[in-house]
Structure 1
Amino acid sequence: MIWRSVVGKLSVTILLLVLVVLTVLTILLTQFFENFYDNQAREQLTKMADRLVLIMENDENKEEAIRITSEMAEAYSMSIMIIDENQESFITPNSFSDAPYIPVSVFSDNEQLSSVVDEGKKIYINDDFPVLSKGNESAHTMIIYGEPYKTGNGKGGVYVYQSIENITKTTNHTKYLIFLAAGIAIILTIIFAFFLSTRITAPLRKMREAATSVAKGEFDMKVPILTHDEIGELGMTFNRMGRQLKNNITALNQEKEQLTSILSSMADGVITFDRKMKILVTNPPADRFLQAFYYESGMKSEVKGTVPIAVTQLFQQVVSLESEQMTEIDIQGRSWVIVMTPLYDHSVIRGAVAVLRDMTEERRMDKLREDFVANVSHELKTPIAMLQGYSEAIVDDVAESEEEKKELAGIILDESKRMGRLVNELLDLARLEAGHMKLHYTLLAIPPFAERIVRKFQGPAKDRDIQLTLEISGIRNEMEIDPDRIEQVLTNLIDNAIRHTSHGGFVRLTIESSEMAVKFFIKDNGSGIKEEDLPFVFERFYKGDKARTRGKSGGTGLGLAIARNIVEAHGGQINVHSKNNEGTTFSFVIPRTVK
């Protein structure tokens, strides 16, 4: 955990650095003071010995001089021994304090010590010697400096010595002070390092908290600026970065919302693929396309990322050819044109975008135009041929009698009227579909209006032995409509019902009136309409009986299309329910809201 914290790392680094420096410094100081005290002791012993040699060689009052010098040596915890060539000492240590001293015999018995007097050598010895202290003899490590002297009466040696324990005590005391200072320095370093690290890293911790908040989406989080150094500048830079990041995120969100709105409002479907053909983005029309594909393929709607094989092949062509490709597929009875374009990441293709356009209505309109031209041509072909044929018969005097000529002229008149009706109905249908047909609303009483229409068809119904009845129910029997147009709808529906009902059948007009709307039902028990023809009954030129001749009893196939447009112009709806050979029921609803 320490190495995962900046405070810990910085504190430990400073502490280790100080420890290394103090350790090296302590070792150097210890060695220095050990050598220093050893050299100092040797220097003091040498100076003291030189002084005694001068006294022995030149001073007439030797005893007084030696006494004064001995007192000085005692002040420095030194002992003096002066021995002549006869191995007799000039100073008896007992005359001084109780300081430890080396017996005279040791100086004469030791080869190195005796060489001072015998051979005139200067010696410096650091060794263990027997020492008398308060009447007790024990071994001590002593530093002894010996120097020879010469007088007119003979020669001898001056020995100045000191116990190593004094130097050791001084050295140990110095070491103690060094270690104490080092310990205090370490403690102060720990406190200073922690304080310094905490102070330095406090802004960093604030920045870490702010960075965590920014990572969570809280872009308003700011770092407090506590200092004006590099860390303070880092904090100001972080705050600027946060503001800039917030602005960029806001701009990206706005662009994303704008793109989402554009995609959602598009009439065309859009699907974006990545390099592996994984679906990234879709819009509602594209979702409907995929749902239709899932339904047709028998897959659950939860299955994501699956597209038709034609789309997969189109994607492969786009990636391999690196160009826009197009195809058209049919799903659930609807035609889709798919245009796919590659997406680039610099010069590398990173995916593709497919635009799907539902061309069902266009295809239907194309078919309607083709059917319209074909049906109009077919509808006009027969009367034109008849007009041409009978006109030529009259011109060529084929009809000899006046009656035959009148009969031919009557046929020509009927066919011309039929052509006129066809043209008028086409014009009415065109005006209704374009919204140019103006309705003339009138407050109309429903019962007499309906009775008049039913009476109009009683003759044809009796001729076919069909029972035509009227039923009216409801609380309000008045409504505001365009009576001519509604009569046109009812006339067309009742006429169709009578013509498609066999002898002995029935046709019933039922009107139900309420506060909100008026409902009309035209029911028969005739031949009915096949199930596959039901979706097309309100199309132009639809005829349920495909084998019906186009004579006087045959219609133009525009009546139901005109009826639907008239009802919708009144704000209503028209429907049909039928079973083959069981009868048909047409119904339409006209709301009471005045248009």
Structure 2
Amino acid sequence: MRNSIVFKLWLYMIALVLLVLTLAWFVHTNIQTRRYFQQQGDELVREGYRISALLEKEQSKEQQEQILRTSAKVLNAVIMLMDKEEFLEQCQNLHDNYSGNDPKLIHHDPLVDSEVKSLFAGKPIVHLGPGKILDLEVISAGVPVMSGDKVEKIIMLHAPVAPISNRINDLKQVTLNVGLEGIFIATILSFLLSRRFSNPLLEMNKVAQAMAHGDYRRRVHKISNDEVGLLANSLNTLALKLEEKITALEKIDSTRREFVANVAHELRTPLTIMQGYTEALVDGIADDPQEQNFYLNNIQDELKRLNRLVLDLLDLKRLESGQHDFTKDFVDIKTTVEKVVKKFEPSVKKNKIQIKTSFAANLEPIMGNADRLEQVLINLIANAINVSAPGDVIMVTAGSGAGCLHISVSDTGPGIPKEELPFIFERFYKTDKSRKRSTNRHDASNGTGLGLAIVKGIVEAHGGMINVQSRVGRGTTFTISIPNNQRK
């Protein structure tokens, strides 16, 4: 509980309330006290002048005594009248209303010498301090009674400070009551505010704990528009990104395992064949020279196949890592297509199929690598030949549009099932699931299963893209799109 945000917020708010109330009470008390004393002193001075005016009108001692007695009762103060020799003539409201010249009261307690001099110079004074006459804290006011330009008498008014202290005590009590009410209100507010802040924080903690245990699907649902909301959004974004990264890593790991399995599969077949032929030669089973040559030729073919597989893997690795080992220059795509088609003339005649070409009139050179583009066309046309039957026609077209060069290779073969189209550019993927070497598959590269993956890598290295459209029994079309606005 001591470490919870509820307790800390409550403690801070209580401390703030107490600090504000203490400062307010201190400032307010001092201001009110000074203001009250000032007002009381001014009031006593005014009363002193009023009494002085009344005394000037009444010459008899009895009447003056009556004026002083009445004023003392009304003001609840001690009023003294002293002559210019500082002898006491009248004293009202002091103990037994003493009247007369008492040497003990001649002294001007609680005034100081400077204040006495001011009085006899004709200036009124106000003094706050303990007085021996009343034996308590008093506020004193002195007013000179003038006769022309001369001071004839001095009127002193001494009012006790006790009523003022009572008011200050009342102010303290009010401040205490307000403080207790403030603490109560602060407790309620701190509870409400802490719940508002702590609930999303607790939910974020649960989400973070779930993320720590591998669950990245949980989200913070109660999101406000303040800093806590920003933190919640950041945590949700983090969870989403981590989920995407983990999914991607899992996919990469799955692809890696699948790749290793595929490579092992591709290597196992030629190695098994070579092992069988080699054992036959070592054991002397094939003693006929012609049969031995047959075995050796098969071993040589499998070695070539392994070499092609290794080269294709290295080539694909470089393409996927972005380490392109080719330079770009202007390529006349019409010349490149015709060159590749000419290479397939023996295979076309042997299989009794046709390759036709079509070029747009506005065809312009593109920035690329001629050898790599030839490799792309060789793979696609070889695939088309492998799935074509005698009498079929393979169509190669090239044109421009939307800022790109478009090259299409179409065949009239058996086509590719719709559910397999998304996977044909994957490494080692073949439409015949048994992976038997047959002519009915859309991956050339001499049987390594990497041809279309390499084609895709080369096209993307040129800033382009490749897509495929196919219908079972109607043939397949591969279309390459490469931007024609690239520069060296």
- The one-letter code matched in structure 2 to 1:277 is P
* 1:419-466 deviation per Cα after TM superposition (whole angstroms, max 9, x unaligned): 111011112222333444422556554334322322433554566565
Query: Contact (CA 8 Å) 1:530, 1:580: kept in 2 or not?
Result: yes
Alignment of 1:28-427 (within 5 A): 39=62, 275-277=198-200, 313-315=206-208, 317=209, 325-329=212-216, 354=235, 355-356=238-239, 357=242, 358-427=245-314
Deviation at 1:577, TM superposition (A): 3.6
Query: Contact (CA 8 Å) 2:340, 2:374: kept in 1 or not?
Result: yes
Query: Contact (CA 8 Å) 2:387, 2:439: kept in 1 or not?
Result: no
Query: 3-state DSSP class of the match of 2:455?
Result: helix
Query: 3-state DSSP class of the match of 2:286?
Result: coil
Q: Distance in 1 between matches of 2:432 and 2:205?
A: 44
Matched, 1:511 2:398: yes
Alignment-derived partner of residue 104 in structure 2? none
- The one-letter code matched in structure 2 to 1:569 is A
Alignment-derived partner of residue 573 in structure 1? 465
* 1:158-196 deviation per Cα after TM superposition (whole angstroms, max 9, x unaligned): xxxxxxxxxxxxxxxxxxxxxxxxxxxxxxxxxxxxxxx
- The one-letter code matched in structure 2 to 1:469 is K
* 1:471-514 deviation per Cα after TM superposition (whole angstroms, max 9, x unaligned): 11132454454322111101111222333456665432111147
* 1:294-353 deviation per Cα after TM superposition (whole angstroms, max 9, x unaligned): xxxxxxxxxxxxx9xxx87544x58xxxxx93424469xxxx9xxxxxxxxxxxxx9998
Which of 445, 469, 475 is matched with 2:362 structurally? 475
**1:17–1:525 CA distance, 2 compared to 1 (3 A):** farther
Q: Distance in 2 between matches of 1:553 and 1:396?
A: 37
Query: 3-state DSSP class of the match of 1:557?
Result: coil
* 1:61-114 deviation per Cα after TM superposition (whole angstroms, max 9, x unaligned): xxxxxxxxxxxxxxxxxxxxxxxxxxxxxxxxxxxxxxxxxxxxxxxxxxxxxx
* 1:405-432 deviation per Cα after TM superposition (whole angstroms, max 9, x unaligned): 3332222222111111101111222233
User: 382-391 or 461-470, which moves further after superposition?
Assistant: 461-470
**1:474–1:400 CA distance, 2 compared to 1 (3 A):** same
Query: Contact (CA 8 Å) 1:502, 1:527: kept in 2 or not?
Result: no
Which of 456, 466, 482 is matched with 2:343 structurally? 456
Alignment-derived partner of residue 149 in structure 2? none
Which consecutive unaligned segments of at least 5 residues does structure 1 have? 1-5, 43-272, 280-306, 319-323, 337-349
Query: Contact (CA 8 Å) 1:474, 1:513: kept in 2 or not?
Result: no
Deviation at 1:391, TM superposition (A): 1.5
Alignment-derived partner of residue 375 in structure 2? 488
Q: Distance in 1 between matches of 2:456 and 2:356?
A: 23
Q: Distance in 2 between matches of 1:330 and 1:583?
A: 43
Q: Distance in 1 between matches of 2:473 and 2:55?
A: 129
Q: Distance in 2 between matches of 1:584 and 1:17?
A: 110
Query: Contact (CA 8 Å) 2:386, 2:439: kept in 1 or not?
Result: no
Alignment-derived partner of residue 481 in structure 2? 589
**1:386–1:20 CA distance, 2 compared to 1 (3 A):** same
**1:329–1:557 CA distance, 2 compared to 1 (3 A):** farther
Alignment-derived partner of residue 87 in structure 1? none
Q: Give the aligned length.
A: 307
Query: 3-state DSSP class of the match of 2:360?
Result: strand
**1:352–1:425 CA distance, 2 compared to 1 (3 A):** closer
Q: Which one has the largest radius of gyration?
A: 1
Matched, 1:563 2:455: yes
* 1:345-391 deviation per Cα after TM superposition (whole angstroms, max 9, x unaligned): xxxxx999844432333333222221221111100000000000111
Deviation at 1:547, TM superposition (A): 3.3
Query: Contact (CA 8 Å) 2:363, 2:399: kept in 1 or not?
Result: no
Query: 3-state DSSP class of the match of 1:511?
Result: strand
Q: Distance in 1 between matches of 2:277 and 2:439?
A: 17
Q: Distance in 2 between matches of 1:462 and 1:405?
A: 33
Query: Contact (CA 8 Å) 2:55, 2:64: kept in 1 or not?
Result: no
Query: 3-state DSSP class of the match of 1:366?
Result: helix
**1:529–1:33 CA distance, 2 compared to 1 (3 A):** farther
* 1:104-153 deviation per Cα after TM superposition (whole angstroms, max 9, x unaligned): xxxxxxxxxxxxxxxxxxxxxxxxxxxxxxxxxxxxxxxxxxxxxxxxxx
Q: Distance in 2 between matches of 1:15 and 1:480?
A: 97
Query: 3-state DSSP class of the match of 1:474?
Result: coil
Query: Contact (CA 8 Å) 1:433, 1:565: kept in 2 or not?
Result: yes
Q: Distance in 1 between matches of 2:329 and 2:476?
A: 30
Q: Distance in 2 between matches of 1:534 and 1:553?
A: 15
State, as a whole percentage, how many aligned pairs show the same letter: 35
Ranked by relative contact order (alpha carbons within 8 Å, sequence separation 6 or more), the top structure is: 2
Query: Contact (CA 8 Å) 1:497, 1:507: kept in 2 or not?
Result: yes
**1:31–1:448 CA distance, 2 compared to 1 (3 A):** closer
Alignment-derived partner of residue 17 in structure 2? none
Query: 3-state DSSP class of the match of 1:359?
Result: helix
Q: Distance in 2 between matches of 1:432 and 1:499?
A: 25
Query: 3-state DSSP class of the match of 2:199?
Result: coil
Q: Indicate the structure with greater strand content.
A: 1
Query: Contact (CA 8 Å) 1:314, 1:326: kept in 2 or not?
Result: no
Query: Contact (CA 8 Å) 1:442, 1:482: kept in 2 or not?
Result: yes
Query: 3-state DSSP class of the match of 2:375?
Result: helix
Query: 3-state DSSP class of the match of 1:574?
Result: strand
Deviation at 1:467, TM superposition (A): 4.5
Alignment-derived partner of residue 537 in structure 1? 424
**1:18–1:274 CA distance, 2 compared to 1 (3 A):** closer
**1:16–1:547 CA distance, 2 compared to 1 (3 A):** same
Query: Contact (CA 8 Å) 1:428, 1:437: kept in 2 or not?
Result: no
Query: 3-state DSSP class of the match of 2:306?
Result: helix
Deviation at 1:276, TM superposition (A): 1.5
Deviation at 1:397, TM superposition (A): 2.9
Matched, 1:447 2:295: no
Query: 3-state DSSP class of the match of 2:214?
Result: strand
Q: Distance in 2 between matches of 1:383 and 1:399?
A: 19
Normalised TM-score (structure 1): 0.43
C-alpha RMSD of the superposition: 4.6
